[in-house]
């Protein structure tokens, strides 16, 4: 049995447990011969970060364009501390859909183009089921990578079939932006938001009330999940069954459509995506906006915004069951077919670890996921608004983790789009979603 193999085996069996007799005899006999046949060359090569050879390994890391420079900085910092690993960065379009398609095309062809990829929070289950990515439980366990100080809810989004498939890199959940020059205390409930929006617009203080993402796309589902959660509704249970037909969901969607169809809302609400919302808010035409934390940088930048000094952020308004922000954002995953697992893992650890998150926070303005970092002096000094965000993103609601999520989401997009445009009532939409979503899950 080779040395390396024994080491890996030992790691995998870490903990007090010993392999059972039957399994042990099986595995040692099967690996005995194979091990000796393969221990010639490959042993010295990859991995063993401590005792690695001088050979420089290049890891290809693909992700959406990052105009903040944080990614470049992380790569530089990583290469400095890991002289044997070079990172070759491949910039992808920042648009989620375009990026997803490029990865799928490459992976479906069994490609080894990318060793590490940025992953949107909705991808892990799908990519895992497709066999494109590597589960990292053993690696996490072996190196004692600590996920316990991460904001709760985020790691769950990368957990599927009992394994962890990637690590999220920053906090990202829906929050409420408001105009501090007009509103003193942000609305605590959706009803309050409705009232305030009506009041301010009818008094002529501002053009429109609330802007949210209501075009027919994934963002609509994020917005809907927040309304649904705030009324205690659930879409999928822990075992992956569709339970969407419940009062909480109906009530949540009713609140949503009430606000969407309010006279104070922009007429073109059903065409709004994030960028249009930011444009409306930056032009000073809306009182409130539902957005991701990253929008803060846009609406407070004098180059792009007219309301720079009047921006406040708060948790989203609450329904009868509390306030929830939908979890979004990005993490990192490893290509299952990579030839350099250890090196890729080193980079993942760095990018999602304390150092990577810190650079991402200071240079990239992305709130860290590791809660300890909110006490970091440098970060507190550079990014004072993070403190507000922490409170706002306290209760995140993840989208269901399912390999068929995009299909389920598509149905929700179509039906909720009808609800917010006022062509169908919430009850009917929920019934349709229930039937169609069940059909998809049953068919899987």
Q: Which of residues 80-139 bind other proteins (CB under 8 A)?
A: 90-98, 100-102, 104-106, 108-113, 126, 129-131, 134, 138-139
CA 390 to chain centre: 16
Could you give the string, one character per residue 45-84, with x where binding to other proteins holds by CB under 8 A and - elsewhere?
A: -----------------x-xx-x-----------------
- Nearer of residues 318 and 338 to other proteins, judged by Cβ: 338
Q: Which helix (H) or strand (E) holds 273?
A: none
Cβ 275 to other proteins shortest distance, Å? 5
- The dihedral through the CA atoms of 271, 272, 275, 281 has a sign that is positive
Cβ 297 to other proteins shortest distance, Å? 9
40 binds other proteins (CB under 8 A): no
182 binds other proteins (CB under 8 A): no
Cβ 206 to other proteins shortest distance, Å? 13
**Residue from the set 295, 332, 369, 430 that interacts with other proteins by CB under 8 A:** 295
Q: Site residues for other proteins, window 266-285 (CB under 8 A)?
A: 266-271, 273-276, 278-280, 282-283, 285
Q: Site residues for other proteins, window 387-416 (CB under 8 A)?
A: 403-404, 406-407, 410, 413-414
428 binds other proteins (CB under 8 A): no
Q: Is 259 helix (H, G, I), strand (E, B) or coil?
A: helix
Cβ 408 to other proteins shortest distance, Å? 10
CA 262 to chain centre: 30
The secondary structure of residue 367, as a DSSP letter, is P
Which of these ranges, 71-79, 194-202, 211-219, 393-401, lies near other proteins under the rule CB under 8 A? 211-219
Looking from the CA of 256 toward its CB, the CA atoms found within 13 Å total: 37
- Nearer of residues 318 and 333 to other proteins, judged by Cβ: 333
217 binds other proteins (CB under 8 A): yes
Strands (E), 124-207: 159-160, 163-164, 167-168, 175-179
Task: Report CA dihedral (155, 161, 165, 167) to the nearest 10 degrees.
Answer: 0
Tokens describing residue 318:
């609450």
363 binds other proteins (CB under 8 A): no
Cβ 86 to other proteins shortest distance, Å? 16
Question: End-to-end CA distance of the chain, in Å?
Answer: 41
Q: Which helix (H) or strand (E) holds 426?
A: helix 426-443
Cβ 384 to other proteins shortest distance, Å? 22
- Nearer of residues 56 and 108 to other proteins, judged by Cβ: 108
Q: Which helix (H) or strand (E) holds 31?
A: helix 21-38
360 binds other proteins (CB under 8 A): no
- Nearer of residues 192 and 285 to other proteins, judged by Cβ: 285
**Residue from the set 173, 175, 215, 426 that interacts with other proteins by CB under 8 A:** 215
Closest CA to 150 of 374, 391, 362, 304: 374
- Nearer of residues 58 and 268 to other proteins, judged by Cβ: 268
246 binds other proteins (CB under 8 A): no
300 binds other proteins (CB under 8 A): no
Q: Are 235 and 394 in contact (CB under 8 A)?
A: no
How many residues line the site for other proteins (CB under 8 A)?
102
441 binds other proteins (CB under 8 A): no
CA 407 to chain centre: 18
**Residue from the set 38, 180, 395, 432 that interacts with other proteins by CB under 8 A:** 38
Task: Report CA dihedral (439, 404, 319, 418) to the nearest 10 degrees.
Answer: -60
Task: Report CA dihedral (80, 81, 83, 88) to the nearest 10 degrees.
Answer: -60
181 binds other proteins (CB under 8 A): no
Alpha-helix residue ranges (DSSP H) falling in 283-340 = 295-299
- Nearer of residues 68 and 371 to other proteins, judged by Cβ: 68
**Residue from the set 170, 290, 336, 349 that interacts with other proteins by CB under 8 A:** 336
Alpha carbon distance 237, 54 (integer Å): 50
Cβ 191 to other proteins shortest distance, Å? 25
Which of these ranges, 27-35, 184-192, 312-320, 356-364, lies near other proteins under the rule CB under 8 A? 27-35
Distances (CA, A) of 196 to 362, 413, 435: 35, 28, 37
Task: Sheet with 167-168: list strands edge to edge.
Answer: 85-92, 57-64, 116-120, 330-334, 167-168
Which of these ranges, 76-84, 143-151, 299-307, 384-392, lies near other proteins under the rule CB under 8 A? 299-307
Tokens describing residue 210:
């609330």
Cβ 12 to other proteins shortest distance, Å? 7
Alpha carbon distance 399, 410 (integer Å): 13
């Amino acid at each position: 049995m080779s040395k390396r193999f024994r080491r890996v085996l030992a790691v995998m069996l870490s903990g007090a447990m010993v392999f059972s007799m039957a399994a042990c005899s099986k595995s040692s006999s099967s690996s005995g011969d194979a091990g000796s046949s393969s221990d010639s060359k490959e042993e010295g090569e990859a991995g063993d970060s401590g005792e690695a050879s001088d050979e420089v390994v290049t890891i290809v890391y693909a992700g959406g364009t990052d105009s903040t420079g944080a990614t470049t900085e992380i790569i530089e910092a990583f290469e400095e501390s890991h002289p044997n690993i070079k990172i070759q960065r491949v910039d992808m379009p920042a648009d989620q859909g375009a990026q997803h398609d490029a990865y799928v095309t490459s992976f479906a062809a069994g490609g080894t183009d990318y060793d590490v990829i940025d992953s949107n929070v909705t991808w892990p289950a799908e990519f895992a089921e497709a066999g494109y990515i590597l589960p990292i439980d053993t690696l996490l366990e072996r190196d004692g990578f600590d996920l316990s100080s991460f904001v709760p809810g985020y790691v769950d989004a990368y957990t599927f079939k009992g394994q962890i498939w990637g690590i999220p890199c920053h906090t990202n959940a829906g929050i409420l932006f408001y105009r501090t020059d007009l509103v003193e205390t942000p609305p605590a409930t959706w009803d309050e938001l409705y009232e305030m929006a009506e009041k301010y617009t009818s008094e002529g203080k501002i053009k429109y009330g609330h802007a949210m993402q209501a075009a027919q796309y994934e963002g609509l589902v994020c917005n809907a999940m927040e309304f649904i959660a705030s009324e205690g509704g659930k879409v999928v249970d822990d075992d992956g069954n569709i339970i969407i037909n419940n009062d909480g969901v109906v009530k949540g969607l009713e609140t949503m459509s009430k606000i969407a169809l309010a006279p104070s809302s922009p007429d073109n609400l059903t065409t709004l995506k994030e960028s249009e919302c930011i444009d409306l808010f930056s032009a000073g035409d809306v009182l409130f906006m539902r957005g991701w934390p990253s929008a803060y940088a846009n609406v407070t930048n004098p180059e792009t915004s007219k309301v720079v000094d009047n921006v406040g952020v708060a948790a989203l308004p609450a329904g009868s069951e509390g306030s929830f922000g939908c979890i979004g954002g990005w993490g990192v995953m490893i290509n299952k077919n990579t030839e350099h697992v250890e090196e890729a893992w080193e980079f993942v650890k760095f990018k999602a670890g304390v150092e990577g998150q810190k650079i991402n926070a200071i240079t990239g303005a992305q709130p860290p996921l590791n809660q300890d970092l909110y006490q970091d002096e440098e970060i507190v000094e550079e990014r004072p608004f993070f403190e507000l965000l922490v409170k706002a993103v306290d209760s995140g609601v993840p989208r269901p983790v399912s390999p068929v999520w995009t299909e389920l989401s598509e149905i929700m997009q179509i039906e909720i789009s009808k609800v917010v445009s006022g062509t169908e009532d919430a009850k009917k939409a929920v019934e349709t979603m229930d039937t169609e979503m069940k059909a998809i899950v049953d068919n899987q």
